[in-house]
Amino acid sequence: MSDMNNLIKELEEKAHDMRKKIITSCYYAGSGHPGSSLSTCEILSVLYHHVLNIDPKNPSDPDRDRFVLSKGHAAPALYSVLAQKGYFDEEELLTLRKTSSRLQGHPVMNKLPGIEITSGSLGMGISFGVGTILAARLQNKNYRTYVLTGDGELDEGQNWEGMLAAVKFKVDKMTVIVDYNKLQLDGRSDDILPIGNLGDKFRAFDFNVIQCDGHDILALIEAIEQAKQYKDNPSVIIADTIKGKGVSFMENRVEWHGKTINDEDFERAMAELNGGLN
């Protein structure tokens, strides 16, 4: 088997393990956002286990790459991959959303190593990402920033202000990744606030637009590499995903945006996931 095939298999296994961790932590919490977290697993697997220049033993390294979770309700996914990387012990995942836990319902800076932004109020991530690259220029740093947004989150106007600033300042070391699962809190994104052709919207703002299957490891690797090679303007990767990916009864079901996982749901989901990769 080639090195690339081995890498793809490893990253697929990491994504699959993240799904188990997401289901388990949300079940023990009695709340959370499983559907919104499950759609991000391949994206986070590729970023954290292949792309990002980070060191869990030195989480404040000024030269580290930055990852910005703009869709902060997908915190269970971020916590899962941070645990995989060794930022904290995996047992702590069972404290999700508990009083005094470091793993709050949305990520909190300075509470847990590896968290770059306190997010929860949607729409701030792109603006924050622009700021990190401008700071890098002032400090003569060469790190890159990746911002993960949701398509429903793009309803927020601040995203588009951030895009204007990103192009004005030519922050080509920032890549936006859209978790394009086409569902949000209470319905289909196109029904709640139709956005039209998302790629055309970003092109109108002079972004370099790349589209791919957000659950295809190789496609994500290639898309991120393509974004890294693009100069002058920022890039966006529109990653087509499935909300609730990996658990059949959660897939493409809007109610699983933030539905509580009961005993029966937990047993069904874990039986599927323990059965192996889909």
What CATH number is associated with residue 140?
3.40.50.970
Structural domain of 41: 3-274
Residue in 32, 177, 36, 18 with CA at minimum distance from that of residue 95: 32
So what's the pLDDT on residue 35? 96
Strands 183-184 and 187-188: antiparallel
Give the pLDDT mean for 223-246: 97
Which pLDDT band holds residue 276 (cuts at 50, 70, 90)? Answer: confident
Give the pLDDT mean for 209-233: 98
CB atoms within 10 A of CB 168: 10
In this prediction the pTM is: 0.97
So what's the pLDDT on residue 74? 97
Residues 6+ away with beta carbon under 8 Å from 55: 61, 64
Residue in 35, 42, 36 with CA at minimum distance from that of residue 18: 42
- Distance of alpha carbon 74 from alpha carbon 106, whole angstroms: 8
- Distance of alpha carbon 213 from alpha carbon 61, whole angstroms: 32
pLDDT in tens, 14-27: 999 999 999 999 99
Tell me how far CA of residue 137 lies from CA of 3, 122, 175, in angstroms: 35, 26, 16
Q: 70 near 123, Cβ under 8 Å?
A: yes
So what's the pLDDT on residue 1? 58
Give the pLDDT mean for 165-182: 98
- Distance of alpha carbon 152 from alpha carbon 243, whole angstroms: 12
Residue 175's beta-bridge partner residues? 146, 235
So what's the pLDDT on residue 197? 96
Give the pLDDT mean for 122-135: 98
pLDDT in tens, 41-61: 999 999 999 999 999 999 999
Which pLDDT band holds residue 278 (cuts at 50, 70, 90)? Answer: low
**Percent of the chain clearing pLDDT 70 (strictly above):** 99
Residue in 43, 14, 16, 36 with CA at minimum distance from that of residue 177: 43
CA 79 to chain centre: 11
Question: How many domains would you assign to the chain?
Answer: 1
